[in-house]
Amino acid sequence: MRSIDSTRLYFDRAADRMDLSENMRRLLLVAKREITVQIAVEMDNGEIATLIGYRVQHDDSRGPMKGGLRYHPEVDLDEVRSLAALMTWKTAVVNIPYGGAKGGIAIDPAKLTNREIERITRRFIDGIHDVIGPDIDIPAPDMGTNSEVMAWIMNQYQKYHGFNPACVTGKPVELYGAPGREEATGRGVGIFAVKLFSRLGRRPSDTRVALQGFGNVGSHAAKFLAESDFRVVAVSDVSGAYYNPKSINVSHALQYAREHHFSLLGYTEADQITNEQLLELDVELLIPAALGGVITAENADRIKAPVIIEGANNPVWPDADHIFEQRGTVVLPDILANAGGVTVSYFEWVQNRQHYQWDLNRVRQELDRVLSASFEQVWTLHAERKVSLRTAAYMLGIGRVGRATILGGIT
């Protein structure tokens, strides 16, 4: 299945419950603008590499478009389209004044030098600078990009348009970034876990957690969950998965990863298993926080966790989601579960525009406020309309985008 078909299926399930007309569906689904640009760069060895940069701007009816920039070998236009649409529903679910966008380049940052990544990033911005900006489309980090890349984006954009730090978010705190942005998505996943388990009447201390992915989202989620008394028993990254049935010492694993180029390779305080085995562990909570499409009809039957929180975008394909719905497995969907990052990106943009920096406490408090309100709205809709949490989140997001589109006027 292609990512775009997955997003479309989830959209349709909610649209059916809302009796949305075919014309309205098409209007909400077709992207406003899709850009592909040639990126020709000289590599460190003197050879010329020609890459393709993608930016899909899906919808701007609720505000400037917002979405991450992904550097990963599997990036293609189909995936970027799907992720851009997810951003539209996500910003609407947490009710921040943005639309949705996404970008990416099919490169493997682990195989490139920092200087090469910088040149690729700057050439990409040369190609798209006139269609992005603080009131148009604001990039942010995603898989394979970080605050350093965002600093290069800001610098390159400003060469054309002058001082304007609000043109990109996820910047280093020393360079117009917001304290708490880096931890925000993982922290948000943790905040939702606390709320969801409280609603389900289960205690964190009785909850064993398996987390796939130990990058930005996975590592911060693991830290927050461990601090909130959950028992993290398995973590993983591209090097494999690490399982300790008693519990993983998360701060120790984090320190190990930091000392080993953000990799758990060689971590010996747990048994090494595969990433596939991690997904199928006997745990109470599973958090896929790495790639999309890791849970499909092929492995859904073997997944034992009664609760899944989608830290990654699109980790559960609709065929698996259907099996989970039939069997009563609770899935907290990506468009709510990982919205902490874009929420703090919004706070960063607000601070940049006001030239006033908040402290970490204020960022955390506001994040908690926004996520708690969205969780309650999705939960209420799920209970009242007797739909899954995913369909409830889509209904909330689609309803808000649809109303803004109509209020703004189409003709």
Catalytic machinery residues? 102
143 is an interface residue for ligand NAD by CB under 6 A: yes
291 is an interface residue for ligand NAD by CB under 6 A: yes
Q: Which is nearer to ligand NAD, 333 or 402 (CB)?
A: 333
Pairwise CA distance, residues 291 & 314, whole Å: 8
265 is an interface residue for ligand NAD by CB under 6 A: no
21-60: which residues touch ligand NAD (CB under 6 A)? Answer: none
141 is an interface residue for ligand NAD by CB under 6 A: yes
243 is an interface residue for ligand NAD by CB under 6 A: no
Site map 319..338 versus ligand NAD, x via CB under 6 A: -------------------x
Q: Which is nearer to ligand NAD, 134 or 215 (CB)?
A: 215
Distances from the Cα of 286 to the Cα of 128, 213, 218, 393, angstroms: 38, 11, 11, 20
Pairwise CA distance, residues 10 & 302, whole Å: 23
Amino acid at 75: V
Q: Which is nearer to ligand NAD, 170 or 402 (CB)?
A: 170
Residue 341 beta carbon to ligand NAD: minimum distance, rounded to whole angstroms: 3
Q: Which is nearer to ligand NAD, 7 or 387 (CB)?
A: 7
Q: Which is nearer to ligand NAD, 28 or 309 (CB)?
A: 309
Tokens of 72: 């990963």
Residue 323 beta carbon to ligand NAD: minimum distance, rounded to whole angstroms: 21
Contacts with ligand NAD by CB under 6 A: the residue count is 24
107 is an interface residue for ligand NAD by CB under 6 A: no
Binding residue (CB under 6 A) for ligand NAD from 18, 35, 238, 265 = 238
Exposed / middle / buried, residue 410 (Cβ in 10 Å: 0-12, 13-18, 19+): exposed
Provide the CA 8 distance to its chain's centre, in angstroms. 18
Binding residue (CB under 6 A) for ligand NAD from 7, 88, 212, 351 = 212
Binding residue (CB under 6 A) for ligand NAD from 57, 82, 121, 313 = 313
> Among candidates 328, 325, 305, 300, which has minimal Cα distance to 315?
300
Phi first, then psi: give them for residue 2, nearest 5 degrees. -85, 150
Residue 291 beta carbon to ligand NAD: minimum distance, rounded to whole angstroms: 5
311 is an interface residue for ligand NAD by CB under 6 A: yes
Pairwise CA distance, residues 61 & 28, whole Å: 10
Q: Which is nearer to ligand NAD, 14 or 235 (CB)?
A: 235
Contact 187, 340 (CB under 8 A): yes
Pairwise CA distance, residues 304 & 243, whole Å: 16
Dihedral, 20, 24, 29, 34 alpha carbons, nearest 10: -170
Q: What separation, in Å, do the N-terminal and C-terminal C-alpha atoms of the chain show?
A: 35
Q: In what order do the strands lie in the sheet with 307-309?
A: 271-273, 240-243, 231-237, 208-212, 285-288, 307-309, 330-332
290 is an interface residue for ligand NAD by CB under 6 A: yes
Pairwise CA distance, residues 116 & 101, whole Å: 25
Residues 6+ apart with CB under 8 A from 126: 156
300 is an interface residue for ligand NAD by CB under 6 A: no
Distances from the Cα of 58 to the Cα of 83, 93, 187, 401, angstroms: 9, 16, 27, 12
Binding residue (CB under 6 A) for ligand NAD from 29, 31, 168, 217 = 217
Residue 301 beta carbon to ligand NAD: minimum distance, rounded to whole angstroms: 20
215 is an interface residue for ligand NAD by CB under 6 A: yes
236 is an interface residue for ligand NAD by CB under 6 A: yes
142 is an interface residue for ligand NAD by CB under 6 A: yes
275 is an interface residue for ligand NAD by CB under 6 A: yes
Residue 70 beta carbon to ligand NAD: minimum distance, rounded to whole angstroms: 7
Tokens of 95: 């009710």
Binding residue (CB under 6 A) for ligand NAD from 308, 312, 387, 393 = 312
Tokens of 188: 């948000």
Pairwise CA distance, residues 234 & 272, whole Å: 10
Contact 161, 133 (CB under 8 A): yes
Q: Which is nearer to ligand NAD, 20 or 267 (CB)?
A: 267
Residues at the contact surface with ligand NAD, assessed by CB under 6 A: 141-144, 185, 212-218, 236-238, 275, 289-291, 311-313, 338, 341
